[in-house]
Amino acid sequence: MKNTSLISLLFIVIFGLAFSFNSCNTDDTCRKSRIVLLGMNFYLDTINHLNNRLVVQKLSIDSLWVKGVGTDSVLYSNRKSINTVKLPLNSFAEESKFHFQFNTFTDTVTIRHKNINEFLSLECGYIRTFEIDTVISTKNFIDSISVTNNLVNTFYVENIQIHHNK
Amino acid sequence: MKTFKFITISSILIVGLLSSVAAQNNNPDSTSNDSIKSPIYRGFIVEVDVAPLIESALINRYAYSFQGNLMVNLNNRFFPIVEIGYAGANKANILGAQFNTSGLFEKVGIDLRLMKPKPKATIKNNFLLGGLRLGMSHFNYSIKNILMEDDYWGGSEIINAENISTTKLWFEFVAGIRASVYNDIYMGWNVRNKRLISRTKPGENAPWYIPGYGLGNTSAWGFSYVIGYKF
């Protein structure tokens, strides 16, 4: 009698577990990152006069303003002591322009990119990732630009280095 | 081509297993020499899986599945099995994105009896089984009405990907029971852990539901409750 009850209980538990295994993962919650941002770091290039070698070090900007050209929304507003920015690229154009104000100097950075549709899941939908083609800028504060990683996706990395010479 | 490969691999597995059974029976050193030889082939059971019907009526109303099995009994120890079915899903999420698919699926494999039945058991022909399946489905699916928006720069777009054709392969670890409940009427259940072999690459349009496999892009759990008749 005891054995029969135990077997029945075991049967019910297995039955219930199996159905719950079967019915999981059906909610509409997106659990993946949908944020795609370009990573840009600032560097100060100086020449070591003792050995005439170039020394590159991170540059902290005293006051930084960043805004997308053609938009009203400011991304960074008078941010103090900042050496990195994360920028959203335009999903519906192949060029994104940003207006930078480094202390009292202003520059415009133009990033040309290919847009790639990436399907995450039915719950999360699509995101648009980017492949950087070329980067150009005005040369008021910025002296040179280099692309260190041309793929912009949900994994935040340094994509662009902005160099300023002392 | 993929179907051909699938059938060939399955056939080799089944033939290999049958030969091992035959070899075991033909062994001259076998202790059963003195007793009457019982036949290797002990009939076949035709089964219907009723678990998906209950599941789609009560739990997952977006999906449906119909499955029939043909299981051969060899020496009450080896049970080669073919499972064939038709399944599909129509799912819309709260944002209005839609997924739909339907297609045939086939699974080939074998169950092995894990324990010898007790001689005094009240239910005759009861088997505790463990086995493997190789599953395949070739199907079309559509992902529609997915809204993409750019919150900073502005703009939006509706993306539709329709009639994407694909073939998915997976294998399943199966454990469960079969028992004769009345004469030749059999019932049983099994729990399955499914592992997808042909996965969709990240970023590509992955099917939300795979006929015969279910949800998920790596592994999934499944449950079958079968009612069958032995011939």
User: What pLDDT digit, counting tens, does each position of B47-69 carry?
Assistant: 999 998 888 888 888 899 999 99
Contact B153/A23, CB-based, under 8 Å? no
What mean pLDDT is predicted for residues A143-151?
A: 95
Query: pLDDT class for B179, splitting at 50, 70, 90?
Result: confident
Distance between CA A150 and CA A63 in Å, rounded?
27
What residues are paired with B61 via a beta bridge?
Answer: none
- On chain A, the residues whose CB falls within 8 A of the CB of B93 are 28, 122-123
**Which of B79, B80, B85 has the alpha carbon at shortest distance from B66?**
B85
Is the pLDDT confidence value at B85 over 50? yes
Q: Which CATH number fits domain B2-28+39-230: 2.40.160.20, 3.40.1280.10, 3.30.479.30, 3.40.50.300?
A: 2.40.160.20
Secondary structure class of A21 (helix, strand, coil)? helix
User: Tens digits of per-residue pLDDT, B205-230?
Assistant: 889 999 999 987 778 888 999 999 99
Is B148 an interface residue toward A (CB < 8 Å)? yes
What mean pLDDT is predicted for residues B93-121?
A: 87
Of all residues in chain A, the percent with pLDDT exceeding 90 is 69
Closest residue in B to A90 (Cα) is B153
- CA distance, residue A34 to nearest chain B CA (Å): 11
Which of A16-20, B116-120, B142-146, B175-179 has the weakest average pLDDT? Answer: A16-20
What mean pLDDT is predicted for residues A133-155?
A: 95
**b/e string for B93-112 if b means 16 or more Cβ within 10 A?**
beeebbbbbebebbbbbbbe
- CA distance, residue B93 to nearest chain A CA (Å): 6
Q: Label the pairing between strands B98-113 and A125-137.
A: unpaired
pLDDT of residue B105: 96
Question: What is the Cα B87 distance to its own chain's centre?
Answer: 12
pLDDT of residue A50: 87
- On chain A, the residues whose CB falls within 8 A of the CB of B215 are 25-26
Note the pTM of the prediction, 2 decimals. Answer: 0.75
What mean pLDDT is predicted for residues A126-134?
A: 95
Contact B150/A126, CB-based, under 8 Å? no
- On chain A, the residues whose CB falls within 8 A of the CB of B89 are none
* Token pair of B184 as six digits: 């030749």
Query: pLDDT class for B28, splitting at 50, 70, 90?
Result: very low
**Which of B73, B186, B69, B57 has the alpha carbon at shortest distance from B135?**
B69
Q: Label the pairing between strands B41-49 and B209-210.
A: unpaired
CA distances B70 to B20, B79, B230, Å, are 21, 10, 10
A165 neighbors A45 (Cβ within 8 angstroms): yes
Structure-model confidence comparison of residues A95 and B7, the more confident one: A95
CA distances B81 to A37, A77, B11, B72, B112, Å, are 51, 68, 11, 6, 11
User: Tens digits of per-residue pLDDT, A59-79?
Assistant: 999 999 999 999 999 999 999
- On chain B, the residues whose CB falls within 8 A of the CB of A86 are none
User: What is the gyration radius of the CA atoms in chain A, in angstroms?
Assistant: 25
Element (H, E) at A91: none
Question: What is the Cα B108 distance to its own chain's centre?
Answer: 8
Where do runs of H (alpha helix) occur along A99-152?
none
Distance between CA B228 and CA B70 in Å, rounded?
9
Contact A119/B143, CB-based, under 8 Å? yes
For chain A, the residues whose C-beta falls within 8 A of a C-beta of chain B are 14-15, 17-19, 21-26, 28, 68, 70-71, 73, 75, 88, 90-93, 96, 116-119, 121-123, 125-129
* Token pair of B204 as six digits: 């590509």
Is B212 an interface residue toward A (CB < 8 Å)? no
- On chain B, the residues whose CB falls within 8 A of the CB of A7 are none
